[in-house]
Each structure stands twice: as structure tokens, then as C-alpha cells.
Chain A
Amino acid sequence: MSARQITLEVLRYRPESESEPVFQTYTVPCEKEWVVLDALNYVKDHLDRSLSYRWSCHMAVCGSCGMVINGDPMLSCKAFLRDLPDHIRVEPLNNFPIERDLVVVLDDFMDKLKSVKPYLIPRQPAPEAGGTYRQSAAQLKKFKPFTMCINCLACYSVCPQYGLNEGFAGPAALALAHRYNTDSRDQGRRAREDVVASNTGIWECTFVGACSEVCPKDVDPAAAIQQTKIASTMDYFKDLLMPRKNGKGGNGKQAAGNNR
């Protein structure tokens, strides 16, 4: 049985020997059910051990294997060869410095992720007797899609605002901030607003919407950011009309805290 032959054109960057990235082409015999990651693994196992790329779970859960395939960022473990032409171009994620081959430097994203305080800042102290925080199914439903992010960074790769202004907090970080802001158990909105509602936060986004189009987990970061813009604008006018009694209140730049 003859396997389908595909041509894999991979962007290589070996900093010890190259001043800039170059494309290298491999011919790979592939099985019907393979994904692009399988083809890369074939190259690594049989053709060129020096090829570097990140991957772990091979099941669209870990978010490690995000790369640009034929121009669009996607998880290489979810990009089936049967849906792609015989010639496939594989590049590292756009808008990030290339560490080596398909591996990009993630430090900037990690800092931004941390800056939005992506964890529960509880509304009340831990329940007595070690119980759990209560939340209804309806309350969960409001923010559940925004919890699905696996930090694959496809959204950053396709976001021109992030490419043009590296100060921009970016889609995934802001979507995660929105996820916690809309969690009924959380009261951290005020603590996040210095980053989220700043000029390098939601207001840097011009609603290109590409992030939501490419997200492999249907998180819809564009929706999260626009909804945060509306909430922040409402806060602005509320503060203008009714300066807060406590806290930072009153100057309009600060958004009101818990009003959800």
C-alpha cells in the first residue's frame, strides 16, 4: 500500500549557525489519520533529529503545539492532514521571537498572564468547615466558555494589535481576566483593572476579531474584551455620577468594583 506523500516546508532557525530563519523541505509518507504533529514527529524520528518544536499531549488539551500552518495559527495535533493540501508550510507562531525552529519565546505572555491576576480572589473568606464556594449552574454558564483557554497563543499569533504594540496585554490574558471578573465567587475586578482597563489592556483592542476566529477551543476572546469594555465604560460613568465612598473612587479612571 502506498502512503500519501506530503511536502512539509518548515521554517528553521538555528541561532548558532544562522542569522535568520530559512525554510527546509521534507517529504513525508503519511497515514490517513495523521495530524501535522505526526508528520513533524516522523521528520524528527526518521529524517532530521535536529528539528525543534513543542508538544506534549497530542489531544488538544495542553496547548503546547500551537504553530502557523499554511498561514493560520492552529494546534498541530488538531490539524488533520486529510483537511490539508499535499504541500504544507509550517512556521512558528507569529508575533513572538523565535527561540529555535518552531519554538517561540513565551516570556512576554507569561508576564502578561500573571499581570491580570488569573486566579480567584474570593468574595468571602473560605467557607466554614472547609466547605466549597457555592455557585449555581446558571452562574457557571455565564463564564464557562472563557475558562476553556489552554494558552496555545494562536490568538496572539493572529492579533495585529499585539504584533504592532508589544505592550498590549493580548487576547488570552484579557479573556482570562474577564473569566474571573464574571465569576460569581470573585471580587478581584478592582485589583485587575489597573492592567485590564488601561491603555495597554482592553482599549488597545480594535476588535479585529481574528483571535476568536482561530481559537481552537472556541473561547471567543474578542467577545470577552468587548464585554469588558462595556463594563468598564459603565463603571466610568457610574464613578462620574456617584464617586465611590471607599477605595480609589471618583476620578473616573478607576472602575467600580463588585456590581455584578
Chain B
Amino acid sequence: MTNRPYVRPMPASWWLRQGRYVRYMIREATCLFIGLHALVLLLGVYRLTQGRDAFDAFLAALWGPAGQVMSAVILLMAAVHSVTWFNLTPKAMPLWIGDAKAPGWVIVGAHYAGWFVVSAAVLFLAGGAS
């Protein structure tokens, strides 16, 4: 062995080297928007504690142009987040039916089905409440 092995530095821009790293970083970055949405919901609960006027002002802001753009961006990012993670689920939780491994689409499909059911339930409750 030589006394001078050469260590190549890893630049901060490593994730721009390959498409797969860029896609990974986008997937990871979408969680920031999920976090942002959680903060918006928390803000809503906080405004609710301040009385009806405060909560109405919060709702009005959400329905304003900036609020709508923000919600649209968050919705898009949440969709990217969900789809990219759902597509990875067969690796994390392989399903064995007897001696055979279930095809990946069964596991991914089950997640989409769950997503649909929960979303429908939320929409039903939200619709019923209004």
C-alpha cells in the first residue's frame, strides 16, 4: 500500500452530478412543504382561540391570492411527496403471500387505496361540517 492514498473531496454540489441525486433531493425537499402546511394548520387553531373575527381573518387570508398560490404549491408538493414515497413502499415492506412475493403494484396500490379512502372521509366530514 502506498503512503499517499488520494482522497477526492466531495463538493457541496454533489447532488447536481446525477439525475438520481436531483430527484432524491426534490423528494426530500417536499417534506418542507408538508411542514409548512402543518404550521398553517397550527396557525389556524391558534387564530381560532383568539375568537371568531381572528379566525375569519385567517380564512380570508387563506382565500386571498397569496393564500391560494401557497395552497396550490403545497398541494402539488404533497402530491409529489406522496407519490414518490408510495412508489418506494414495495422495497420497505415486501408482501409474501405463501411462498410468493406479491408484485410491487399490489403494495403501491394498497397505499393509493388507503390515501383515497382517508381523503374521501376527510372531504365527507369537511363537507358535512359546513
Total count of chain A residues near the partner, CB < 8 A: 34
With the chains together, A105 CA to B7 CA distance in Å? 10
Interface residues as binary, B86-109 with A (CB distance below 8 Å gives 1, 0 otherwise): 001001111010110000000000
Interface residues as binary, A111-143 with B (CB distance below 8 Å gives 1, 0 otherwise): 000000000000000000000000001100110
Q: Is the interface of B mostly helix, strand, loop or mixed?
A: loop
The answer to whether B99 touches A141 (Cβ under 8 A) is yes
Residues 216-243 of A contacting B (Cβ, < 8 Å): 220, 222-223, 226-227, 229-230
- Is B115 engaged at the interface, CB distance under 8 Å to the other chain? no
The answer to whether A208 touches B24 (Cβ under 8 A) is yes
Cβ-Cβ contact count across A and B, 8 Å cutoff: 70
The answer to whether B2 touches A100 (Cβ under 8 A) is yes
Q: Chain B nearest CB: distance from A223 CB in Å?
A: 4
The answer to whether A99 touches B8 (Cβ under 8 A) is no
The answer to whether A99 touches B1 (Cβ under 8 A) is yes
Interface residues as binary, B1-24 with A (CB distance below 8 Å gives 1, 0 otherwise): 111111110100011011011001
The answer to whether B96 touches A142 (Cβ under 8 A) is yes
Q: Chain B nearest CB: distance from A159 CB in Å?
A: 11
The answer to whether A209 touches B5 (Cβ under 8 A) is no
* A99 contacts across to B, CB distance below 8 A: 1-2, 5
* A147 contacts across to B, CB distance below 8 A: none
* B10 contacts across to A, CB distance below 8 A: 95, 160, 163-164
The answer to whether B6 touches A160 (Cβ under 8 A) is no
Q: Chain A nearest CB: distance from B77 CB in Å?
A: 18
Interface residues of B (CB under 8 A from A): 1-8, 10, 14-15, 17-18, 20-21, 24, 28, 88, 91-94, 96, 98-99
Interface residues of A (CB under 8 A from B): 13, 15-16, 20-21, 71, 94-95, 97-100, 105, 137-138, 141-142, 160, 163-164, 206-210, 212-213, 220, 222-223, 226-227, 229-230
- 6 A-B pairs with C-beta separation under 8 A: A16-B2, A99-B5, A141-B99, A163-B10, A223-B94, A230-B92
15 more A-B residue pairs beyond the given contacts A105-B5, A164-B14, with a C-beta to C-beta distance below 8 A: A94-B8, A95-B10, A97-B6, A98-B8, A99-B5, A137-B99, A142-B96, A207-B88, A208-B21, A209-B20, A212-B91, A213-B20, A220-B91, A223-B91, A227-B93
